[in-house]
Structure 1
Amino acid sequence: MDFGLTEEHKLLKQTFKKFCDKELTKDYVAWMDENCDFIPDDLYKKLADLGLFGMTIPEEYGGAGMTFTDFMVAMEEVAIASAAVAIGAGLAVSFGAKVIGGMGTEEQKQFHLPKIAAGETKYCLALTEPGGGTDIINSMRASAVKKGKDYVLNGQKVFISGGHVADYMLVVAITDPTAAKRTKGMSVFLVDAKIPGITVNLIKKVCIHACGTTEIFFDDVVVPAENLLGQLNNGWNKLVDVLNPERIGTAMLSLGIAKAAYKEAHEYSLQRFAFGKPIGSFMVLQHYLVDMLIEIENATNLIYKCCYLLENGLPYHMEAAMAKLVAGRASEIAAIKGTEILGGYGVCMEYSMQRHFRDYKQMIFSPISDEMAKNMIAQWTGLPKSY
């Protein structure tokens, strides 16, 4: 297995790094963190013009037809600059292009994919409910009942990233409450966010400010039958297959936070003097920085191994769960130890470290908790189911 980047990947990486250095400066990212609940429209358009949203969309639908690995190479640079921007940008790709491309009809693809590639539409996945995140299957209460030619959608979703700016919502709901197996009674709908009966509220949180999280209420929302995405009553199984790469993407977000925190801590350790020398000369702080670097290397290797497995049609579900865990802990170690290296400045708003410290936490329990990821890995190795 070759872990080295190809020349094309190196050029892609340079292109996105140059873009981020220019458009996602430290001051601008700090401004977004304090003033924005989503990527500003002008920046979103610039990301679209750079080709980010259409990278993995086939050429016949207005995209570039590139690989998932290509997308991860680009997203790594965006995530280092701003995890919030990376999450916001990833919504259209993961929950728009990926899901519609994998589950949609030809008509749905023709309508949505070119708009996604051009940055004209935004998407969210309305899945999690108040009664349970990890146990979403058993806790789901949202329902879509067939009435005439349409479906009537009722229910509540929570912790939905970008729900307040989404033009379209991918909503998972119960369509057959009598199904012997709940996963055989769940369907996915592509819902126009402007349909009457939808209420979206922002949830105040301490992290990832520039990609707002919402709760969504559906009250007798009439959804045309043609907005069904995939098969009726079998939407869950297909959705899970389509979204498997999400854990790789989540790991990449954590890796971005870890790399950004390490860079700031390393630079500060050489600039700050104590007892007549840079604090980076003290053994304990060197160990902190090396601890960060080791975890970053481990996460990087796991993430790109997952990409390799995916591109070659090999199973990667266990490795993706591992990557999510390892990268999340890399971001935790880098943020915590980085804050300790900066001392008082680590919690001052003029430094980015306080943002890394806040942002990393969302990666630990999203899209599934680390504990649940470990349970799944154990089960895949043949151990008894623990939940």
Structure 2
Amino acid sequence: MMGGREWMDWMLTAEQVAFRDTLRDFVDREIPKAASRDAERVDGAYPHHLFDRLAKGGYHATGVPVEYGGRGADLVTQLIQARELSRSLAGMIWIWGSTSFAGANSIGLYGSEWQKKEFLPKIAAGDLKVTIGFTEPGGGTDVLGALETRATRTQGGWLINGAKKWCTSAHVSDYVLLLARTNDEVARKHQGVSLFLMSPKAPGVTLSPLTTLGMRGLGTFDMTMEDVFVPDELLLGQPDNAWRMLLPTLANERMLLMGTCLGIIDGVVEDTLAHMKSREAFGKPIGSFQAVQHHFANILMARHQTELVAFNAARLADAGADTFLEVTMGKVITSEHAVAAADLGIQIFGGQGYSGDNDMQRYWRDARLMRFSPINNEMARNLVAERHGLPRSF
């Protein structure tokens, strides 16, 4: 690859390098960038063909334990997958990432043996889709403070009432990983909440489509629930203890986000370099102009920093370290670098970068989400400061 892209191969095992190279070839052959651009032009029409291509390559199995039909890959390998897919898919990486986070990771960590045997092989084979239902209409980063969805005991299960927002791909998902309050008699708001696997097709569920700036081809929905029955076997883990269960999986989500940001920057680098060599102005390629070269150098330096931060966090996590600070800081650093890189790419492309006929504007739209989701960068900075002994600011 150009420009010493593989400088960090020394950080990877031979197996991880082989996985990356195989996946990169697969993406270039099976999932060209135009496929993502075309898919999002029909807002909310889920790109089943892209999901199926990943199933064909066995890439839904990456994070699933071997004993349940998966690859059992470590976090470095999952980071590599997020990166390589995002070169082409950008924000639509979540056709893999949502099920990986909500399904493979959460069920793999906290599911009963029956749940693991029932769901994980289907996820690995690409036969099951899972989305996330955490955010409420009245909240965003303050997930617990805004949590009004309730699950109440009934014979053989639970009745769920409430509403969720930003349920991406809910219209094609088999299950929603749903956060609901199950006990109001608690000392602190992180107590008394539970996780459920709820079918978005169940009686009592209503989906309303949302228009979004990015990830258009996946479809994003508001979801309301009125007396939706969920059987006991679809309660995930222990009741009333969901928040402590979620903390490791939220760290995994931030890891995948860092890989997504890194892949977006890869796409920006590749497309910008090609444009700088082919586009001419005043009788010579625009890549010969000093100001343009400086913009491009800034993109490369942003990628370099992003790569160091992301792979350091993944390696520490695989070694069993507490990576709360690394993934929280990394989420901020990588998302801001990705947005800045895409913005510089648009500047280099000029009017062409503003056009929907190329990917530069799509990189920016997809990266922009990462600065406030799944936690906004301002709140992430608060958490970093608090971990260093400063008083809580919220």
Deviates more, 1:121-130 or 1:33-42: 33-42
Distance in 2 (CA, whole Å) between partners of 1:159 and 1:61 is 30
**Aligned AA (1:29):** S
1:279 equivalent in structure 2 = 286
Q: Which of 52, 59, 78 is matched with 1:52 structurally?
A: 59
1:21 equivalent in structure 2 = 28
Distance in 2 (CA, whole Å) between partners of 1:2 and 1:318 is 25
**Aligned AA (1:249):** L
Flag structure 1 segments of 5+ consecutive residues without an equivalent. Answer: none
Q: Which of 161, 164, 167 is matched with 1:160 structurally?
A: 167
Distance in 2 (CA, whole Å) between partners of 1:37 and 1:21 is 25
Q: Which of 362, 385, 393 is matched with 1:386 structurally?
A: 393
Determine helix, strand or coil for the equivalent of 1:328: helix
Distance in 1 (CA, whole Å) between partners of 2:377 and 2:45 is 26
Q: 1:357-381: per-residue Cα shift (whole Å, max 9, x none)?
A: 2211111111110111111111111
Structure 1 residues 2, 381: CA separation in 2 closer, same or farther (over 3 Å shift)?
A: farther
Q: 1:339-371: per-residue Cα shift (whole Å, max 9, x none)?
A: 111111111122211211221111111111011
Contact 2:332–2:377 (8 Å) recurs in 1: yes
- Please report the TM-score for the alignment, with normalisation by the length of structure 1: 0.96
The offset of 1:16, in angstroms, is 1.1
1:206 and 2:219 aligned: no
Determine helix, strand or coil for the equivalent of 2:221: strand
- Please report the TM-score for the alignment, with normalisation by the length of structure 2: 0.95
Distance in 2 (CA, whole Å) between partners of 1:75 and 1:38 is 22
Determine helix, strand or coil for the equivalent of 2:151: strand
Distance in 1 (CA, whole Å) between partners of 2:123 and 2:239 is 25
Distance in 2 (CA, whole Å) between partners of 1:357 and 1:59 is 36
Q: Which of 266, 276, 290 is matched with 1:269 structurally?
A: 276
Contact 1:84–1:210 (8 Å) recurs in 2: no
1:222 and 2:229 aligned: yes
**Aligned AA (2:355):** C
Between the two proteins, the alignment pairs up a number of residues equal to: 387
Q: Which of 371, 374, 383 is matched with 2:381 structurally?
A: 374
Distance in 2 (CA, whole Å) between partners of 1:235 and 1:104 is 12
2:96 equivalent in structure 1 = 89
The offset of 1:296, in angstroms, is 0.7
Distance in 1 (CA, whole Å) between partners of 2:109 and 2:357 is 43
1:102 equivalent in structure 2 = 109
Distance in 2 (CA, whole Å) between partners of 1:281 and 1:129 is 50
1:38-49 to structure 2, matched below 5 A, reads 39-49=46-56
Deviates more, 1:187-196 or 1:294-303: 187-196
Deviates more, 1:78-87 or 1:89-98: 78-87
**Aligned AA (2:114):** E
1:331-350 to structure 2, matched below 5 A, reads 331-350=338-357
State, as a whole percentage, how many aligned pairs show the same letter. Answer: 34
Structure 1 residues 348, 252: CA separation in 2 closer, same or farther (over 3 Å shift)?
A: same
Determine helix, strand or coil for the equivalent of 1:296: helix
Contact 2:164–2:222 (8 Å) recurs in 1: yes
Distance in 1 (CA, whole Å) between partners of 2:314 and 2:34 is 33
1:256 equivalent in structure 2 = 263
1:191 and 2:198 aligned: yes
Distance in 1 (CA, whole Å) between partners of 2:92 and 2:226 is 31
Question: Cα RMSD (Å) of the superposition?
Answer: 1.6
Distance in 1 (CA, whole Å) between partners of 2:27 and 2:41 is 19
Distance in 1 (CA, whole Å) between partners of 2:327 and 2:358 is 32
1:313 equivalent in structure 2 = 320
Contact 1:164–1:201 (8 Å) recurs in 2: no
**Aligned AA (1:195):** A
**Aligned AA (1:376):** L
**Aligned AA (2:127):** E
Distance in 2 (CA, whole Å) between partners of 1:340 and 1:208 is 22
Contact 1:159–1:214 (8 Å) recurs in 2: yes
2:129 equivalent in structure 1 = 122
1:5 equivalent in structure 2 = 12
2:241 equivalent in structure 1 = 234
Distance in 1 (CA, whole Å) between partners of 2:195 and 2:34 is 40
